[in-house]
A = this chain, B = another copy of it.
Amino acid sequence: MDLNFTAEHDAFRQEVRAWLAANVPAEPLKTYDTAEGFQQHREWEAKMNEGRWGMVTWPSELGGRDADLIQWLIFEEEYFRAKAPSRVNQNGIFLLGPTLMEYGTDEQKAEILPKMADGTEVWAQGWSEPGAGSDMAAVRAKAELSDCGDYYIVNGQKTWSTRAVWADQCFGMFRTDPESKRHKGLTFILVPLDLEGITVNPIPQLDGLPGFAEIFFDNVKVPVNRRLGDEGQGWEVAMATAGFERGLMLRSPARFQQTAKRLVELYKENQASADRDPAIRDAVVKAYMAAESYCLTTFETACRLIKGGKIGAESSTNKIFWSELDQTMHEVAMDILAARAELEPFAPQAKGVGSWLDGFLFAQSGPIYAGTNEIQRNIIAERMLGMPRK
């Protein structure tokens, strides 16, 4: 065990830090849940790509830096410290990108990855269908191969498609075998959102902005070369993608550590008022410890993976841990802000509220998306602890 970064790590960190210091916009971008903000974020992705910082874990021949997981974590630490913009194309870069590298044809990689990297094409995910919730196998949207074999005719509906309102592309599973049930007979297809027959309906979220959307497919003709993997292999491909989602690439410890840091600062700024409720100080200390634990555990896992270890059902503990931590931290912040907590940041009396309210609203979704925490607890009990299924 050696908990020191190597000289190479330190140099890498300095390089990231310098680039971010020179390039992160001084003014925060508008939220990408608005058209203007979306465009700003798309441009940021392009700038990142120019500096070859957009997808540091990608192979260098694809514009990445071959960064290993430790470097990735260092990159993220610097990224969050620099308050750099949220990644509008995370569905592409962190989920579909790696999946394409594993399952895509050379043509697909050549066509799709560069546009993903430079923000030309922003990706939405089409995991959920109406009424299916966390049940990823409940796919009813169909894709039927045309008689000529050139394209699929896609019909059906996807929902909770994050950022789909302004995205260019969407990926998801479609049922190609109409007789099949559950996770059989599914095919993973990449659908350009400008095809005829596609309707995207924004879904306003708690803050009133359309953070996700429903997508309707009405006889949409998708060229057959947009199939990822084989026909019927959709579940396997999707599981690989979902694995990336639950894995290390998203939910960087840095994100939660920076929130914990801000929480400590908020507590200290408001200490006289906050200490009226002794529970607050205790909650701040516990939250800080939890954020540090999340960081430590992530580095431990990254080191294990680098040495050839595998990530198993314990990734479900990950989801529960960060989502509940995030929720708790924002609840504590609300308690500290007290009567100011309900105010929108631009309200005249909202001094010092920062983005806590937005964060609080967003934190409500943590225990829900990417498989509810209830589903994760089932997985932990059954697959990690070996409890009986039925």
- Return chain B residues, CB-CB under 8 Å to A282: 277-279, 282
A 273-287 contacts with B by CB, 8 A: 277-279, 281-282
Whose C-beta in chain B lies nearest to the C-beta of A282?
A: B279
Within the oligomer, what is the number of copies of this chain? 2
> Could you give, for residues 13-27 of chain A, a 1 whenever the CB lies within 8 Å of some chain B CB and a 0 otherwise?
000000000000000
Whose C-beta in chain B lies nearest to the C-beta of A286?
A: B279
Query: What is the bound-complex CA distance between A281 and B279, given in angstroms?
Result: 8
> Could you give, for residues 339-370 of chain A, a 1 whenever the CB lies within 8 Å of some chain B CB and a 0 otherwise?
00000000000000000000000000000000
- Return chain B residues, CB-CB under 8 Å to A278: 278-279, 281-282
| Closest CB in chain B relative to A347 CB, distance in Å | 30
Whose C-beta in chain B lies nearest to the C-beta of A284?
A: B278
Query: What is the bound-complex CA distance between A279 and B282, given in angstroms?
Result: 6
A 239-294 contacts with B by CB, 8 A: 277-279, 281-282
| Closest CB in chain B relative to A108 CB, distance in Å | 46
- Return chain B residues, CB-CB under 8 Å to A279: 278-279, 282
| Closest CB in chain B relative to A284 CB, distance in Å | 10
Whose C-beta in chain B lies nearest to the C-beta of A283?
A: B279
Query: What is the bound-complex CA distance between A203 and B160, given in angstroms?
Result: 55
| Closest CB in chain B relative to A280 CB, distance in Å | 8
| Closest CB in chain B relative to A390 CB, distance in Å | 14
Query: What is the bound-complex CA distance between A279 and B284, given in angstroms?
Result: 11
Query: What is the bound-complex CA distance between A282 and B282, given in angstroms?
Result: 10
Whose C-beta in chain B lies nearest to the C-beta of A281?
A: B278
Query: What is the bound-complex CA distance between A282 and B281, given in angstroms?
Result: 11
| Closest CB in chain B relative to A275 CB, distance in Å | 8
- Return chain B residues, CB-CB under 8 Å to A277: 282
| Closest CB in chain B relative to A287 CB, distance in Å | 13
| Closest CB in chain B relative to A156 CB, distance in Å | 28
| Closest CB in chain B relative to A332 CB, distance in Å | 13
| Closest CB in chain B relative to A295 CB, distance in Å | 23
> Could you give, for residues 29-50 of chain A, a 1 whenever the CB lies within 8 Å of some chain B CB and a 0 otherwise?
0000000000000000000000
A 285-308 contacts with B by CB, 8 A: none
| Closest CB in chain B relative to A289 CB, distance in Å | 13
Whose C-beta in chain B lies nearest to the C-beta of A278?
A: B278
Whose C-beta in chain B lies nearest to the C-beta of A280?
A: B278
| Closest CB in chain B relative to A33 CB, distance in Å | 34
Contacts beyond the supplied A277-B282, A279-B279, A279-B282: 5 A-B pairs with Cβ under 8 Å: A278-B278, A278-B279, A278-B281, A278-B282, A282-B282
Question: Which residues of A approach B to under 8 Å, CB–CB?
Answer: 277-279, 281-282
Can you list 8 A-B pairs, Cβ within 8 angstroms, ordered by A? A277-B282, A278-B278, A278-B279, A278-B281, A278-B282, A279-B279, A279-B282, A282-B282
The 6 tightest CB contacts between A and B, nearest first, are: A278-B278, A279-B282, A278-B282, A278-B281, A279-B279, A278-B279
